[in-house]
Amino acid sequence: MLMSPIRRCLAGLGVAGVLAAASATPALAAPTANLDLYVQDATVAPDSPGTSRGLSIYTDRSTVLPDVTVRYDYRSLAGRVTLTGGGGNAECAAPEPGVLVCAEESDIPVDEIYGGGTQPVRIVVTDKAEPGDAGDLKVSLQVAGKDRGSYTSGLRVGEGVDLAGGPDSTLVAKPGGKFEAPLTVVNVGTKAVEGVVAVFDLDHSIRTRDRFSNCLYAEDHLIACQFDEEIPAGEGRTTTLDFHLGTDTYAPSNQYGNAVFMTNGDFEDLFGQREDAGALATTRGGGPKLTLADAPTKTARAAQTDTEPGNNYTSWSIRVSGTNGTDLQAIGDTVKGEAGAVVTATVGFRNNGPATLDRVNNDHEAATHTGVELPPGTTAVEFPDNCWLRYGSTRTYLCSSDMLLVVGETYTLEFRLRIDKVVPDARGVVQVNAECECPAGGSFQDDIKPANDKAWLVVNAAGSGGGGGGSLPITGSATGLIAGIGGLLLVAGIGGYLVARRRRTHFVA
């Protein structure tokens, strides 16, 4: 079972969380969303079930796309490759050889963080194809009868093989402690595999100091290792990886990691466009080479693709011993102005540590929620779009956080407040770890210092007069809301990319 951030946050994920609570104030019409499109390259083998590909859609603002039609043009490989509907909620037809047009039966929600996607189509090789055949897959999108963009990906015919991951492992470590993880791959097919790539899917807490020359890294996170050894049919290869947990690992807890094995061809299909899609750049290590076995003499062969990718994983579960908790401290603000003025209040919280709070999971829920009660005499005219009026309230907003809250970071929210009436020393409350009736659970319940979970939001503090502004004397500077998992993790389990997380402001009439 995949258990960590890469597989949790990227390709094919839908809208998550509880960001749709109703507001009592009408919103202005949102501008048209800008769309970015992506289709992963594909290598397909003869005498195999084929592979599926869909159109991934990313946007600069969350939106819903009505009346969606996708056109797949594979005429460069017509007769050698066939595309058909994938059996989902889309009606597909072939108006001419080498072209498939699919109309979605439902509107497509596209989240500004996770994106969205259309129903996949199935790509199968015909008996006229040979390994080495290659062409383009040109995909274009129409929304409500209007062209909204296109993307061209690579499509090729390769040799089919079958890799399998080794047994799963259960390990024990403490925050800052070291552990060894076995990495085993087996060729369970009938043909030799010419090289293999392990793509790692590790929780934020799992770090490495190694810098192998055939591995890719993002800061101290291991991303992938490329092995050029041939693995004959029926044989396996193994090595051991040295990892350690960050000193900021929450304890007690369970941390997870896994590796998915793929052929060089499948890795090229997955990794080729990742940086263009907004993922962090990776760097190759400058140390020795990590090996599985001595490599025999190589001969040139066609690209290979795994025809049974469902068994390609090996997983590690790390039980973190000891005690290492988290203190989230609320941050308030103090502002001032005359009646009718609009002022900006910056509020939020800081993770004082000592642990990073990692709540990345399949539900894509926030790690915590922050309540913002407006001071008397004020109205919020602008607020972040991860905030909403609490159900049944006219003055208290609830705001979702990122899923990963890094120790030492400050997470802030800007509220533009209109001063309807000057009320001396008008006070509202900012509360981190506020209660939330959320589908996958509410806020963080185990804060080690709950006494600092609340702070004041003050308008026109007694004796301050009108105009100007200032901050409450609370420890921690407002350094801005970080991108969370989007700043760390790169590739999806089997295709797709996470674009940088953006915060926008919700305007009200």
CATH number, domain with residue 218: 2.60.40.10
**Sorting pLDDT into bands at 50, 70 and 90, what band is 365?**
confident
Report the pLDDT value the prediction gives residue 39, as an integer from 0 to 100: 87
Exposure pattern of 309-318 as b/e (b: 16+ CB <10 Å)? beebbbbbbb
Per the prediction, the chain carries an average pLDDT of 79
| Same structural domain, 318 and 340 | no
pLDDT at position 273 is 60
Q: Quick check: 352 pLDDT over 90?
A: yes
Could you tell me if 353 and 485 lie in one domain? yes
pLDDT at 69 over 80: yes
In the prediction, which pLDDT does 293 show? 63
The answer to whether position 502 is within a domain reads yes
In eight-state DSSP terms, residue 248 is: T
The answer, yes or no, to whether residue 151 has pLDDT greater than 70, is yes
Please indicate, yes or no, whether residues 421 and 460 belong to a single structural domain of this protein: yes
pLDDT over 70 (residue 473): no
pTM of the model: 0.73
Residue with the larger pLDDT of the pair 17 and 450? 450
349/473 same-domain check: yes
Averaged pLDDT, 371-382: 95
> Would you say residue 438 has pLDDT above 90?
no
**pLDDT over 50 (residue 92):** yes
Same domain, 398 and 332: yes
Among residues 348, 367, 368, 349, the alpha carbon closest in space to that of 358 is found at 367
DSSP notation for 352-396: EEES-EE---TT---S-EEEEEPPTTEEEEEEETTEEEPTT-SSE
Chosen domain end from 288, 323, 358:
323
Residue 33 lies in a domain: no
In a domain, 4, yes or no: no
More confident residue, 393 or 450: 450
Residues 317, 337: one domain?
no
Do 493 and 347 share a structural domain?
Answer: yes
Together in a domain, 349 and 411? yes
Q: End-to-end CA distance of the chain, in Å? A: 47
CATH number at residue 133: 2.60.40
Which of 323, 339, 372 terminates a domain? The answer is 323
Q: Average pLDDT in the 379-394 region?
A: 89
Q: Give residue 70's domain range.
A: 46-155
Q: What percent of the chain has pLDDT over 90?
A: 47
Q: Which of 242-256, 312-326, 345-359, 439-453 has the lowest mean pLDDT?
A: 439-453
Domain boundary, last residue among 323, 344, 366: 323
Q: Is residue 480 part of a domain?
A: yes
**What pLDDT does residue 74 have?**
93
CB 41 within 8 A of CB 269: yes
Considering the domain architecture, whether residues 231 and 299 belong to the same structural domain is answered as yes
Position with higher pLDDT, 65 vs 363: 65
**Residue 7 included in any domain:** no
Same domain, 336 and 272: no
| Residue 441 covered by a domain | yes
**DSSP reduced 3-state for 68:** strand
Residue 236 backbone dihedrals phi, psi, to 5 degrees: -125, 165
Residue 466 falls inside a structural domain:
yes
Residue 26 inside a domain? The answer is no
Most confidently modeled range among 90-94, 222-226, 231-235: 222-226
User: Which residue in 354, 348, 326 sits closest to 474, CA to CA?
Assistant: 348
Q: Is 290 found in the same domain as 172? A: yes
Same-domain check for residues 276 and 329: no
Range with the poorest average pLDDT among 156-160, 215-219, 491-495: 491-495
Residue-wise pLDDT tens digits, 24-50: 333 334 467 888 888 888 888 887 788
What is the pLDDT averaged over residues 128-133? 87
In the chain, how many domains are there? 3
